[in-house]
Amino acid sequence: MSESIIYDVALRIMFDTYRTLEELKHPKARIFETIKKDFPMLITSATERLRNVSLDAEVQQLQDFLRYASTTLTRVYLSGDWRPHVFLSEIFYEVLPLKRLHEWVIDMSKLPSSPQIAEINSIIPLTSAKISSRLGGKQILLFEANLIENTLFREILDEYSRRYAMNDERLLLSNVDEINRLKESLDFLYVGSLDAWRLGWPNILSLASQLLKRKGNLSLILPINQREGLKTFLKLFDVPEYPEPEKIIEDLQRQRFTNIYTSKGPGFLALVAARR
Amino acid sequence: MSRAQVIRTVKVRCPRCGAEIPLELTPNIIEEAKANPLGLAGVAYPHLDHVLIAYFDRNGEERGVRVFLTLQAPEKGLYEILLSKDDLKGLRNISGFRVESRKLNIRISSFTTATTAALKISGRDTIVEVDFQRDFSYQILRGWLEILLDVLENSYSSAPLDYVNTFRILDIMLEEKPFAYAKQVFWLVANGSTITIRPRLPEALLFKKYRPTLVYEKYSGAFISKVIEKNEMKVSEALGQDNPQVLFVNAEALLSLYRRGVLDLVIE
């Protein structure tokens, strides 16, 4: 099945999301301003392309994920209840293509015993929990302030920390002293969640270049969202456009990353690279 | 309490006797609601032969009332409940306990076996005494009992099973240091017979399909299936009287499902 199917699936879900957000006068409805005049044409052609296609398990599961993502926008807005965002962030790691990519980045990363590892903006620190169970070491969870100030998210982090006996430390990305202290100290840095994608590619690249030690591994799961469908849909979650995979690889090589391996799923890219 | 601390007076009609009762909403009640796992705080008002409990959310809005019959009128002293010897069977650390709640007008006492140490702690409306069959550091005991006292001060169940289960999980918790959400685990168990579990859609369906790693690796799959497949059940019914370790892990599992929005925990 063509990898482009997911963009058509996302377009159809996005149209329903647009109508719901408009009805609710949700502030994010204005994100659709620039494309709403194109909606009829986009939806017609997406529906046409999907007409005779049966969705495989991977795309069906991504469809479930995107539909639920749309539901969380309205639920969080209407009730101020952040539980759907937690659940969405957790099933991110369980829907087939993302689960496969996540397992791939962990398997491909070369880690020493007792590594010092970090994740960015992960309210579900599953990557750190898994590595901690296998190799011990120290896990640094880096956050933007709005995430770590949320009581529910802190409880989820406490639950992961306790149930996986993690040796974790939580730091603010805005704390320059703490970030400087971590300079060239990490064996592994993972970036791959809806909240992490908000940082955008230039910031992720800059943090990876600063924080990883020599031979340290960068592991990424990023959206391939230049194409409409995922482009506007992810904007609803404040995720900016990411460069095409080829450009990401070029940028990494320019920043002295080597041993770059990639794997693609529908709409998403997994990448592992080592700092030279 | 001084008038200056009262945010406003809320008039609540008692569904049992029809009396209109003025309840004073204070900053402490709002703080209690903010700290509560369900975002609610209860205010108890004993009168005649019953106690009215009105629940307020963190914005100070009324979120429902419940009425409990008092087992014995306050002027006749506390209503005594003596638990059977079997209720604390299998505990490794606790040999007995007594809880006295002036708010609920009850005293619940267990049968006590051989004791090496005892600790008593008192709050505004509640006194808790625990006997131990093993030595623990005072710091650890104090830490746990302060959490427990705070929970019982803000609990409204008079069901003996809820108290028994609370002390059964305390028996397990004593073997580790207090952790961030320990108070919530206690609160859920201490109020188990007053809280209904209601699975939510579409989360419960997605949960069964995608089986989040942490929940399925760290908690019992059979217990999770039981609670999300049933339309609704009481927390105390779901927890039952399993061995203390299982009870503790299952209480944690319920909170875990609640935090993910897979179920609601509703005080009724």
Q: Which residues of B touch A81 (CB under 8 A)?
A: 261
CA angle A189, A192, A196 (to 5 degrees): 95
Q: Contact B210/A158, CB-based, under 8 Å? A: no
Closest by Cβ to A87, choosing from B184, B218, B260: B260
**How far is A196 from A28, CA to CA, in rounded Å?**
19
Query: Cβ–Cβ of B259/A86 closer than 8 Å?
Result: yes
Contact A86 B209 (CB under 8 A): no
Would you call B210 and A81 a contact, using CB atoms and an 8 Å cutoff? no
| High-pLDDT (> 70) share of chain B, % | 95
Question: Cβ distance A190 to A122 under 8 Å?
Answer: yes
pLDDT of residue B206: 96
Q: Residues of A83-92 as b/e, b for ≥16 C-beta within 10 angstroms? A: bbbbbbbbbb
| Interface list for chain A against chain B, based on CB atoms closer than 8 Å | 61, 64, 68, 71, 81, 83-84, 86-87, 90-91, 93-95, 126, 129, 152, 154-156, 158-160, 162-164
B222 touches chain A (CB under 8 A): no
Q: At B152, is the secondary structure helix, strand, or coil?
A: helix
Residue A250 C-alpha, separation from nearest chain B C-alpha, in angstroms: 34
Contacts of A129 in chain B (CB under 8 A): 214
pLDDT attached to residue B121? 93
Nearest partner of A236 among A247, A220, A225, A221, judged by Cα: A225
Residue of A nearest to B259 (CA): A83
Q: Global pTM?
A: 0.85
Phi, psi of A85 (to 5 degrees): -65, -35
Which parts of chain B register pLDDT below 50? 1-4
Say whether B206 and A162 touch across the interface (CB within 8 A): no
* Interchain proximity A83–B261, CB inside 8 Å: yes
Edge-to-edge strand list for the sheet holding B40-47: B40-47, B50-57, B62-69
CA distance B257 to chain A (A): 9
The tens-digit pLDDT sequence of chain A (276 residues) is 567 899 999 999 998 999 999 999 899 999 988 888 888 888 898 888 888 888 889 899 999 999 999 999 998 888 889 999 999 999 999 999 999 999 999 999 999 999 999 999 999 999 999 999 999 999 999 999 999 999 999 999 999 999 999 999 999 999 999 999 999 999 999 999 999 999 999 999 999 999 999 999 999 999 999 999 999 999 999 999 999 999 999 999 999 999 999 999 899 999 999 998
Per DSSP bridges, beta strands A168-172 and A138-143 are: parallel
Which residues in chain B have their CB less than 8 angstroms from residue A68's CB?
202, 206
> Minimal Cα–Cα distance from A87 to chain B, Å?
5
Question: How far away is chain A from the Cα of B211, in angstroms, using its nearest Cα?
Answer: 7
Give the model confidence (pLDDT) of B52-72 as tens digits: 888 888 778 787 888 777 765
Axis-axis angle for helices B138-153, B160-173 (nearest 10): 150
Whole-angstrom distance, CA of residue B30 vs CA of residue B7: 10
Q: Is the CB of B214 less than 8 angstroms away from the CB of A126?
A: yes
Q: Say whether residue B89 is in contact with chain A using an 8 A CB cutoff.
A: no
- Smallest Cβ distance to A94: which of B212, B256, B262? B212
